[in-house]
Amino acid sequence: MEKENIGTLINEANNRVLEILLSAEPVWIDVKPAIEAVGGMRKNTILHSGPPIPWEEMCKVQRKGIIGGILHERIADSEEDAVNLVEKGVVDIKSANDLRVVGAGVGIVTASMMVNICRDKRTGREGYCCPFEGRVGLSTWGVYNEDIEKRLKVIETLFGPTLSKVLKECGGIDTKNIIARATQMQDESHTRQVASGLILVSEIMPYLVRANLDKDVLIQCVDILVKTERFFHPLGMASFMATLSGAMNIEYSTIVTTMTGNGVTFGIKVSSLGDEWFTDRAPLLYGKYLAPQWGPEDSIPWLGDSCIVETSGLGGFAAAAAPLLLQLRGGSVKDAIWQTEEMRAICVGTNNNFSIPLLDLMGPPVGIDIRKVLETGITPVLHGGIISREGGQIGAGTARAPLECFIKALYAFGKKYQL
Amino acid sequence: MEKENIGTLINEANNRVLEILLSAEPVWIDVKPAIEAVGGMRKNTILHSGPPIPWEEMCKVQRKGIIGGILHERIADSEEDAVNLVEKGVVDIKSANDLRVVGAGVGIVTASMMVNICRDKRTGREGYCCPFEGRVGLSTWGVYNEDIEKRLKVIETLFGPTLSKVLKECGGIDTKNIIARATQMQDESHTRQVASGLILVSEIMPYLVRANLDKDVLIQCVDILVKTERFFHPLGMASFMATLSGAMNIEYSTIVTTMTGNGVTFGIKVSSLGDEWFTDRAPLLYGKYLAPQWGPEDSIPWLGDSCIVETSGLGGFAAAAAPLLLQLRGGSVKDAIWQTEEMRAICVGTNNNFSIPLLDLMGPPVGIDIRKVLETGITPVLHGGIISREGGQIGAGTARAPLECFIKALYAFGKKYQL
């Protein structure tokens, strides 16, 4: 194909993807067990974050999470049995991302675990993400014990069914509107979603108190909504997945539709290349540790699907919306602006749905073009938690998606379209 | 007295005032009828915003409010009777400010109307401000009709007593903490208190659902908290009054403890000069009108005690916390920074309780020194609603406190201390 011709086709395709990303209308519509909500989920399926990875190569905390998931599902009764079943290939271990599920941290999702369902009203596509069980949980940090089991059960038997009912009664919660308002209130929607969480509580509370709930059920639901740290984060991530799902599989588009890591490998997907993974070694984060005894040697490379936020043009791309985050680790207002402006160099558009006061109401960049990444050598900047080798968060900071993923993707693109 | 000596005394006094302003710990502790909460309130007392003013000089909307207040208290049965009683001097009309009550807009407060009580835990001083009845109300816009009467009755018989109970159970709500968090989320706490309102809802909700309320009472309270536009504003104002009350009557201090207008005159008080008013003609606001048919000729000069927010170093003084507000009327991030920095020139300190992301976490200026106002010719900038001659808000903008008030105050200061 001639070069001029392919350039036009790519630009048209990318404009179409951009249009899908900008016009999406994600809504939180339901909470359901993963097996009922997620296509491809079976009773013995355990999902994890990041690109697919063999059991023996998985990082320790993710393996711990898989074992926890098996125990939670009572597929095995002991850790030893669980490992045996995995090694025999009896457990169906999959990348969450391939099933349109977003797994924060280790990203463990099992059949009976509840997922928040967000749907893009424009395309009908859905994205899924487990509600957080608290600051520490099975789904996020791979921790499984009696207390976590109890909290999972509350979510599965009490919170999930109640919210499912309330969401149906109120017609769903418009997450795009919430994120738009929160972007003006110091949320970049990855490391910080304080305002989104607060807005959500105020939006849902009038419906919750009208829902004829037992007093005790009402109290527990209110406590989970109000007191779960970063409760909104899974709703944002599921919304972004719903949005990006609509942007997948557009012929000729060079726009990134997935970025994620499993603590070992980091992978991206590109619209026109469907569900093919382009992977490299996962990057380490640099940033601020929560206590002086921790340093880079204690941390593991990027783990988690949460950089779906950056893939959607928020998080590190919207640093200018949340200079507070950079300031807490020694940065300045200018650093926040520069970070957003640097990302503009690798994106095809601006998302003015999310206007940023610090940029005099201009939105953040959106639509990462693998061509621009290779032209400039600038790779996407990701905001995230720094995770300990033993599990748990030990800091917060920034990573860069590895350039190699984009090189491999562009090579595959050239091959597919015979360039 | 020698000039050097007085200078030292003034600086020491001002430092003491600054310390009181910075260390205050205001808490929303109760909701009670004004007659029970406010010292000096009688059954036939009607409070209004701004400096004291004779009935015949009052602006139309404030007169309307006084009449509405008389009808609400059933002191008279008709508007005509109400006016007669006022003209006979039977009604005890007072400046709210003199009783440590903050009246937003027309600032009508009557004996049975509920007031939010905020108390500075450090000094024990209290400030009072009516909960808003909705977007339009008697207390704020002087509007009185069947619908407003109904809403006032809900506040007096249902919302007030319920919140009083809940506040006692939870030990009060820390408003300083809320304002501090909101200052990082685009609230300057005068024209915008979106984040404060959201935080308040999330803080109080767990207590509210535990309070053994009838379902209907719970629903009504939740609706008032969540849906009343700017519900937090009266809590902020009452908190600032509680704080400033502790800073009043400090000998030798040249710091402003009150600024307010009644739509005709604008007045200030100065710490060492107690409750003496220094007045001038109230200033007009400039800004953006809500509809093209309105202009300055439709508006009245500054009306309302809400610039207690600026007296406390927020609102116009914290413009850098809320560039969004200036942007909505055509300004920029730089305008917001400059406005805050201009105000720094007339203040004695910086309030780092309220750190501003845009200023790399420096706080806004606080403690207006009448000497600095006269040295620089810079007068305090006030954020506020533009009010129609007929009542109701027709825009939002900015006014400048009149220089003449500060000249009069400094003259009185010189006289008192024989300078």
| B355 to chain A, closest Cα gap in Å | 10
Residue B369 is classified by DSSP as B
For residues A211-222, one letter each, b for 16 or more C-beta atoms within 10 angstroms of the residue's C-beta and e for the rest, the string is bebeeebbebbb
Q: Is residue B47 part of a domain?
A: yes
CB-based contact A226 B215, cutoff 8 Å: no
Rounded-to-integer distance, Cα A333 and Cα B136, Å:
39
Q: Return the structure tokens found at B201.
A: 């809802």
The dihedral built from the CA positions of residue B395, B397, B402 and B406, taken in this order, carries a sign that is positive
Q: What is the identity of the amino acid at B57?
A: E
| β-strand pairing of A256-262 with A265-270 | antiparallel
Identify whether residues A253 and A228 lie together within a single domain.
no
Q: Return the structure tokens found at B249.
A: 């009557």
Question: What Å distances lie between residue A388 and A142, A285, A297, CA to CA?
Answer: 12, 11, 9
**Collapsed DSSP state (helix, strand, coil) of residue B387:** strand
Q: Return the structure tokens found at B31.
A: 């909701």
Q: Return the structure tokens found at B190.
A: 């005068």
Rounded-to-integer distance, Cα B49 and Cα B21, Å:
23
Q: Which chain A residues touch B361 with a CB distance below 8 Å?
A: 324, 327
Q: Is residue A4 part of a domain?
A: no
The number of distinct structural domains making up chain A is: 2
**Percent of chain A residues past pLDDT 90, beyond the cut:** 95
How wide is the angle at C-alpha A400 spanned by C-alphas A230 and A59, nearest 5°? Answer: 70
Q: Is residue B14 part of a domain?
A: no
| Nearby residues of B299 by Cβ (< 8 Å), 6 or more positions away | B284, B285, B386, B387, B388, B389, B394, B395
Q: Which chain A residues touch B228 with a CB distance below 8 Å?
A: none
CB-based contact A185 B205, cutoff 8 Å: no
| Closest among A18, A416, A7, A8 to A247, alpha carbons compared | A18
The dihedral built from the CA positions of residue B72, B76, B78 and B81, taken in this order, carries a sign that is negative
Confirm or reject contact between B215 and chain A (CB < 8 A): yes
Boundary (domain end) residue, out of A191, A216, A237: A237
Count of pairs with CB atoms under 8 A, one residue in A, one in B = 90
CB-based contact A222 B205, cutoff 8 Å: yes
Strand runs (DSSP E) across B96-164, as ranges? 109-110, 114-120, 126-129
CB-based contact B206 A185, cutoff 8 Å: no
Q: What is the pLDDT of residue A202?
A: 98
B128, B34 Cβ separation under 8 angstroms: yes
Backbone angles phi, psi at A123, to 5 degrees: -105, -15
List the helix and strand counts (H, then E) for chain B. Answer: 16, 16
Q: Is residue A326 part of a domain?
A: yes
Q: Is residue B216 part of a domain?
A: yes
Rounded-to-integer distance, Cα B262 and Cα B281, Å:
10
Identify whether residues A188 and A138 lie together within a single domain.
yes
Least confident stretch, A102-106, A355-359, A384-388, A406-410: A384-388
Q: What is the pLDDT of residue B391?
A: 81
Using the predicted structure, report yes or no on whether residue A4 has a pLDDT greater than 70.
Answer: no
B106, B112 Cβ separation under 8 angstroms: no
Confirm or reject contact between B218 and chain A (CB < 8 A): yes
Q: What is the mean pLDDT of each run of 10 residues along chain B (419 residues)?
A: 82 98 98 98 98 97 97 97 97 98 96 98 98 94 96 98 97 98 98 98 98 97 97 98 98 98 98 98 94 91 97 98 94 97 98 97 98 98 92 91 98 96
Q: Return the structure tokens found at A322.
A: 């949340």
Q: Return the structure tokens found at B345.
A: 């020139």
Identify whether residues A204 and A307 lie together within a single domain.
no
| Closest among B296, B286, B285, B247 to B269, alpha carbons compared | B247
Kindly tell me the burial class for residue B206, based on how many C-beta atoms sit within 10 Å of its own C-beta (0-12, 13-18, 19 or more): middle
Confirm or reject contact between A418 and chain B (CB < 8 A): no
Rounded-to-integer distance, Cα A123 and Cα A247, Å:
9
| Closest among B328, B260, B262, B263 to B299, alpha carbons compared | B263
| pLDDT tens-digit map of A228-250 | 999 999 999 999 999 999 999 99
| pLDDT tens-digit map of A147-177 | 999 999 999 999 999 999 999 999 999 999 9
Backbone angles phi, psi at A68, to 5 degrees: -60, -40
| pLDDT tens-digit map of A261-299 | 999 999 999 999 999 999 999 999 999 999 999 988 999
Q: What is the pLDDT of residue B1?
A: 57
| β-strand pairing of B114-120 with B381-387 | unpaired
Confirm or reject contact between A217 and chain B (CB < 8 A): no
**Collapsed DSSP state (helix, strand, coil) of residue B12:** helix
Rounded-to-integer distance, Cα A255 and Cα A274, Å:
11
Quick one: residue B77, left, alpha or beta (phi over 0 = left, psi -120 to 50 = alpha)? alpha
Q: What is the pLDDT of residue A390?
A: 84
Q: Which chain B residues touch A333 with a CB distance below 8 Å?
A: 357-358, 360
Q: Is residue B118 part of a domain?
A: yes
CB-based contact A185 B194, cutoff 8 Å: yes
Confirm or reject contact between A99 and chain B (CB < 8 A): no
ipTM of the complex: 0.96
| β-strand pairing of B92-95 with B45-48 | parallel
| Closest among B217, B183, B173 to B313, alpha carbons compared | B183
Q: Is residue A2 part of a domain?
A: no
The dihedral built from the CA positions of residue B32, B33, B36 and B38, taken in this order, carries a sign that is positive
Q: What is the pLDDT of residue A3?
A: 61
Q: What is the pLDDT of residue A393?
A: 86
Identify whether residues B281 and B203 lie together within a single domain.
no
Query: What is the 3-class SS of chain A, one letter each residue?
Result: CCHHHHHHHHHHHHHHHHHHHHHCCEEEEEEEEHHHHCCCCCCCEEEECCCCCCHHHCCHHHHHHHHHHHHHCCCCCCHHHHHHHHHCCCCEEEEHHHHCECCCCCCCEECCCEEEEEEECCCCCEEEECCCCCCCCHHHHCCCCHHHHHHHHHHHHHHHHHHHHHHHHHCCEEHHHHHHHHHCCCCCCCCCCHHHHHHHHHHHHHHHHCCCCCHHHHHHHHHHHHHCCCCCHHHHHHHHHHHHHCCCCCCCCCEEEEEEEECCEEEEEEHHHCCCCEEEECCCCEEEECCCCCCHHHECCCEEHHHHHHHCCCHHHHHHHCHHHHHHCCCCHHHHHHHHHHHHCCEEEECCCCCEHHHCCECCEEEEEHHHHHHHCCCCEEEEEEEECCCCEEEEEEEECCHHHHHHHHHHHHHHCCC
Quick one: residue A317, left, alpha or beta (phi over 0 = left, psi -120 to 50 = alpha)? alpha
Cα A47 to chain center, whole Å?
Answer: 14
Rounded-to-integer distance, Cα B284 and Cα B263, Å:
9
Backbone angles phi, psi at B101, to 5 degrees: -105, 140
Q: What is the pLDDT of residue A329?
A: 87
| B38 to chain A, closest Cα gap in Å | 32
CB-based contact B222 A199, cutoff 8 Å: no
Rounded-to-integer distance, Cα B122 and Cα B246, Å:
9
Which CATH number does the domain housing residue B408 bear? 3.90.1700.10
Rounded-to-integer distance, Cα B20 and Cα B243, Å:
8
Q: What is the pLDDT of residue A1?
A: 57
Identify whether residues B203 and B60 lie together within a single domain.
yes
How wide is the angle at C-alpha A401 spanned by C-alphas A396 and A406, nearest 5°? Answer: 170
Kindly tell me the burial class for residue A175, based on how many C-beta atoms sit within 10 Å of its own C-beta (0-12, 13-18, 19 or more): buried
Rounded-to-integer distance, Cα B81 and Cα B99, Å:
27
Q: What is the pLDDT of residue A212?
A: 94
Identify whether residues A144 and A31 lie together within a single domain.
yes
Which CATH number does the domain housing residue A54 bear? 3.90.1710.10
Rounded-to-integer distance, Cα B229 and Cα B221, Å:
14
A interface test, pick of B184, B196, B198 with most A CB neighbours within 10 Å:
B198
Q: What is the pLDDT of residue A338?
A: 98
Confirm or reject contact between B360 and chain A (CB < 8 A): yes
Which of B201, B219, B327 is closest, CB to CB, to A202? Answer: B201
Identify whether residues B123 and B185 lie together within a single domain.
yes
Boundary (domain end) residue, out of A208, A237, A266: A237
Q: Is residue B304 part of a domain?
A: yes
Q: What is the pLDDT of residue A2?
A: 61
| β-strand pairing of A45-48 with A109-110 | antiparallel
| Nearby residues of B334 by Cβ (< 8 Å), 6 or more positions away | none
| B396 to chain A, closest Cα gap in Å | 18
In chain A, residues 327-346 whose CB comes closer than 8 Å to chain B: 327, 332-333
Identify whether residues B39 and B153 lie together within a single domain.
yes
Identify whether residues B84 and B189 lie together within a single domain.
yes
Mean pLDDT, to the nearest integer, of A335-356?
A: 98
Beta-bridged to residue A120, according to DSSP, are: A26
Q: What is the pLDDT of residue A391?
A: 81
In the block, residue with structure tokens 């509600």:
A131
CB-based contact B209 A186, cutoff 8 Å: no
Identify whether residues A215 and A276 lie together within a single domain.
no
Beta-bridged to residue A347, according to DSSP, are: A368
| B222 to chain A, closest Cα gap in Å | 6
Which of A219, A323, A361 is closest, CB to CB, to B209? Answer: A219
| β-strand pairing of B347-350 with B365-368 | antiparallel
Calculated CA dihedral for residues A287, A293, A298, A302, nearest 10 degrees:
-20
Identify whether residues A212 and A267 lie together within a single domain.
no
Calculated CA dihedral for residues B24, B30, B36, B39, nearest 10 degrees:
10
Beta-bridged to residue A288, according to DSSP, are: A396
Identify whether residues A286 and A171 lie together within a single domain.
no
Confirm or reject contact between B219 and chain A (CB < 8 A): yes
| B10 to chain A, closest Cα gap in Å | 37
> What does the radius of gyration of chain B's CA atoms come to, in whole angstroms?
20
Which of A184, A195, A202 is closest, CB to CB, to B226? Answer: A202
Q: Which structural domain range is residue A294 located in? A: 248-416
Question: What Å distances lie between residue A40 and A45, A98, A104, CA to CA?
Answer: 9, 10, 19
Rounded-to-integer distance, Cα B132 and Cα B385, Å:
15
Confirm or reject contact between B194 and chain A (CB < 8 A): yes
Q: What is the pLDDT of residue B392?
A: 82
